[in-house]
Structure 1
Amino acid sequence: MNNPRSVRVFIVDDHAIVRRGISSYLDVVDDVEPVGEASDGIEALEKLAELDTFRHLPDIVLLDLMMPRMDGAETLKAIREKYPHLKVVVLTSFADPERMNTMMRLGAAGYLLKDAGPQEVAAAMQAALKEEMYIDTAMTKKLTQLMNSPVSGLSTLTSRERTVLGLVGEGQSNRQIAQELFISERTARTHVSNILHKLDLQSRTQAALLAAEAGLLPPRS
């Protein structure tokens, strides 16, 4: 990976077999040194603190999302607060754009799926060390498909639902939508649910992407 020393990697995943599998991946990547592992966020923070005591913190943390006691999102927040220089690459089985966007907003340097090959893992780590962001190839394809999805289903929406979709596209919460349209939060939530159902979408993030693609974002002065 063209570094003067081995890249130190710490693995966080609640399944021992997955941690062993990741370690096997790293064995075939040049200049990589696993320096520890943890089964959840709390254990990860404890072990990182120990490594910090001996000035042997990792360069990169490979982090799972769904774990007991402290999940990936909370762990990422804590790592970024305590060790802002550490690069965190998410390694998960969830090919969900909304989860990915959440982790990227929290400061993740990359988002990989667990079926990624060793070379893709290496590429993600290399990108992180260069202060670049890396997204799994499969996730990139999914995002492209969402952006290029047909908008013909919009014809099934009522005028009010199209307005709500535009506000979702702006990133507004149900409460904010309710305040803007002078409706109850429950009604706003129902509108969003109906929109997702009619357009066969799985998340607000997908709805927001579609709203932007269809030019539904409300004009702002």
Structure 2
Amino acid sequence: DLYIYNATADDIAVFQCQISNVHGRRVVNAYLHVWQQPPAILRSMPDEQLVAEDQVITLPCFTMGAPKASIHWYRNGLSLRGSEQWMAESQSKYQFDLDGGLHIQHVTTADVGKYTCIATNKFGDSQVTGRLTVRGRTRITAGPRLVLVQPDRVGDNEHHENYQEQQRKNQSGQPPGTGSPSETHGVTDGKNDRVEQVIENASVWLRCDVNADPMEINHLSMVWKK
């Protein structure tokens, strides 16, 4: 067998294999062509890539060329390989895959920007640029909590407030008439589970506060479950 390591254009030739014995000789020819091509990017990130905060995203940069291209990634013109967040360990912020793609771990709004993939070999280079846009996560900042209780009859309002205050003091062990107004009118901080006492036939308003990305407000939906 004939092995040629790291073949180059100088190795382009017709190779001939000859075998012979006392009965004769046979010759077989083989043509070796060394493919030479500057890199071409076959699959890349779109012009704009949307991703939610704290997700993992892969920006593809699949290339073809001969010899195989070296891949370099840049963010806003700065090399990612030289950044403090670039490390060889699996816990690093940025990682390469074998096909040249860029993995970004736990995406934040600080990762927004223009990303450029440059593929290079000795015959040339090719590059592609796309923008990464990060949408903030939707978070429940407070709730559910009791904001307002409206009895069906106006005359029940004072009775309801007295009843609710008494129930709260019974739960907390405080004497009636003490505590903040929010404690005596059923408003909670929304962070801890609390039992709200209301009289029968009262209309109740429960509130849940949400913090969402301004660009995603129109797509926000909320579901209440009992």
Tell me if both proteins adopt one fold, taking TM over 0.5 as the criterion: no
TM-score in terms of structure 2 length: 0.21
Instruction: Answer 1 or 2: higher relative contact order, Cα 8 Å, separation at least 6.
Output: 2
Higher strand share: 2
Larger Rg: 2
TM-score in terms of structure 1 length: 0.21
